[in-house]
Amino acid sequence: MNRVVITGMGVVAPNGVGLGAFTNAIKSGVSGITFHQNLEDANFSCCIGGIPQVSEEKKLEYLTPLQLRGFNSSGILYGCMAGMDAWKDAGFDINPESTLDYDSGCVFGTGTSGVEKFREAIYKLDAGEVKRLGSTVVLQTMASGISAYLGGILGLGNQVTTNSSACTTGTEALLMGYERIKRGQAKRMLVGSCSDDGAYIWGGFDAMRVMTYKHNDAPEEGSRPMSTSASGFVPGSGAGALVLESLESALERGATIYAEVLGGHINSGGQRNGGTLTAPNPEAVQRCILEALKNSGINANAIDTINGHLTATSKDSLEIENWVQALDRRGSDFPYINSLKSMVGHCLAAAGSIESVATVLQLKDQFVFPNLNCEDVHPGILELISDEKIPKQMIKKEITIAAKASFGFGDVNACIIFKKYN
C-alpha cells in the first residue's frame, strides 16, 4: 500500500483564478460573489452568484484558437485551466508531442457538462440545421468531456474517467484517485471537478427555493454559512484540481509536496432514517466521518481543523451536530471549522475540489481562513461548539491534520483526511 501525497494544485474560483490569487483571496476573506443582470432579466429570485473572471486572452493561455472555435462549455474550460495549472505546478511539461504516460491518469468529475453548448445545439436541430452542429458538440456535452480533454492535452495513459455525485463529486474524485495510487495501479492521478455557471444550471435550484433572495443588493453578504440570518445558498462555479502521487515517485523526482492524503471514506445514507434526496441521513454522515478516521489511522482528537460542507441552509446546524457526535468533541474542544462557500458560494460539482485546494493551502501555509457573514452564529450551533472555533478573521496557527467533507444531493457523503507532510 503506497503513501499518497499532493504535488500540484490548480484552481479557477469566483474569488481567484490561479493558485496565487486564490491563496491571497482566502487569507484576506475576499468574496467572489457578484450581481448578475441576466438572472434578474430571467425573473430569478436569487440574482447573485460566483463566476470566475476569465478573459478571452486568458483562455488562449490554455486552449488554442482552433480548440476555442465553437467552444461554449464553461465547466470544461474551468476544468482544463485548473487541471493544466495543477500539472505544471507538479513540475510536468505540457507538450502535445510528449510520449504517452501509462503511469498517470485522471479522475475529473462534473455534474452537468456543456449546458450552453447543448442549448445551442437544440436550437440548431429544431431549425433543421443538423449539419451546422460542428464537430465538437459531442465532446463538449458528454459527461466525460472534461476528462477526455485533459487526457488528450496531457497524454495520460492510465485510467481517464469522469465521476458524478452532485456536491460530493470533487471529494469523491480525490478519494478515487487516492485509492488507485495506494493500490499501486498508478503513480500519479490528476483529480478534481468542475461546474458550469449561469441560468441554465442554477434555474432548477432557484425554482426549488433553496437559494437566497434577500441579498441581491448586497451580493458579498449573501452567502452566510452557520449564520442565524442565512436564507439559502448562493450558486457558484469553477474548478479545482490536484495532482496525487505516490510518495516514492514524488521523492524520486524531488517534487514539492503540499500535503499527504491519509485516507477517507465514501458512503450513502440511502435516503433512509431521515435522509432524503436533498437532506443527509445523520447516521450515515457520522459513519462516513468515523470510517474516514479509521481508514486514516488517526483518532478524533488529532483533527486540528475542518472544512465543512456548510451551505448556508437550515442543514448547517445538523452538520455541526453530526461532526460533534462523530468526533465526540464539543465546546472549546471542537476543532476550528470553516466554510469556503461564504466567499465563493456553493460551486456544486466543483465545490469539493475547490474546497480541498483551500484546505491543503491551510496545511501548507499554516493558517485557518475566515468565515464571512457569520457574526451572528446560529444559536443551535453555539449550543454545540464555541464561537471562537468559527474564525471571523484569518488565524495563523500550527495545524497538522485537516478534514474535508462533502454531503451531496441523493444522500451521498465523502470525507477525506489531509496531513501536513514532514
Q: How confident is the model at residue 143 (pLDDT cuts 50, 70, 90)?
A: very high
Active site residue 346: yes
Q: Look at strands 401-408 and 16-17 and give their pairing.
A: unpaired
Indicate if the pLDDT at residue 135 is higher than 90. no
Q: What pLDDT does 89 receive?
A: 98
Report the candidate in 131, 135, 239 with the shortest Cα–Cα distance to residue 194. Answer: 239
Q: Please answer whether residues 204 and 112 qualify as being in contact, where contact means their C-beta atoms are separated by less than 8 angstroms.
A: no
For 29-70, the pLDDT digits (tens) are 999 999 999 999 999 999 999 999 999 999 999 999 999 998
Q: How far is CA 319 from the centre of its chain?
A: 18
Q: What would the mean pLDDT of 17-29 be, rounded to a whole number?
A: 98
Mean model confidence pLDDT for the chain: 97
Cβ pair 28, 187 in contact under 8 A: no
Of these residues, 309, 374, 378, 415, which one is catalytic?
Answer: 309
**Which of the four pLDDT bands, split at 50, 70 and 90, describes residue 398?**
very high
Q: Which of 167, 194, 288, 415 is catalytic?
A: 167
Is residue 134 predicted with pLDDT exceeding 90?
no
DSSP structure class, residue 97: T
pLDDT at 236: 98
CA-CA-CA-CA torsion sign (88, 192, 207, 34) = negative
Assigned C-alpha cell, 350: 466543483
H or E element: which one contains 252? helix 247-252
pLDDT digits (tens, 9 = 90+) for 346-384: 999 999 999 999 999 999 999 999 999 999 999 999 999
Whether the per-residue pLDDT at 413 is higher than 90: the answer is yes
- As beta bridge partners, residue 95 has none
Q: How do beta strands 401-408 and 238-246 pair?
A: unpaired
Kindly tell me if the per-residue pLDDT of 277 is higher than 90: yes
- 167 catalytic residue (yes or no): yes
Cα–Cα distances (Å) from 46 to 112, 204, 208, 279, in that order, read: 21, 12, 11, 21
Distance CA 212, CA 206 (A): 9
Domains, the chain, with CATH or none: 4-259 (3.40.47.10), 263-419 (3.40.47.10)
Tell the burial category of 253 from Cβ atoms under 10 Å away from its Cβ (0-12, 13-18, 19+).
exposed
Mean pLDDT on 157-178 = 98
- pLDDT digits 0-9 by tens, 244-270: 999 999 999 999 999 999 999 999 999
182: pLDDT strictly greater than 90: yes
Rounded mean pLDDT of 153-157? Answer: 98
Residues comprising the chain, all counted: 422
Residue position matching grid coordinates 486564490: 22
The CB density around residue 334, as the number of other CB atoms within 10 Å, is 20
Model pTM greater than 0.75? yes
**Candidates 346, 347, 374, 415; catalytic one:** 346
The verdict on whether 265 is a catalytic residue reads: no
pLDDT band at 422 (very low <50, low <70, confident <90, very high): confident
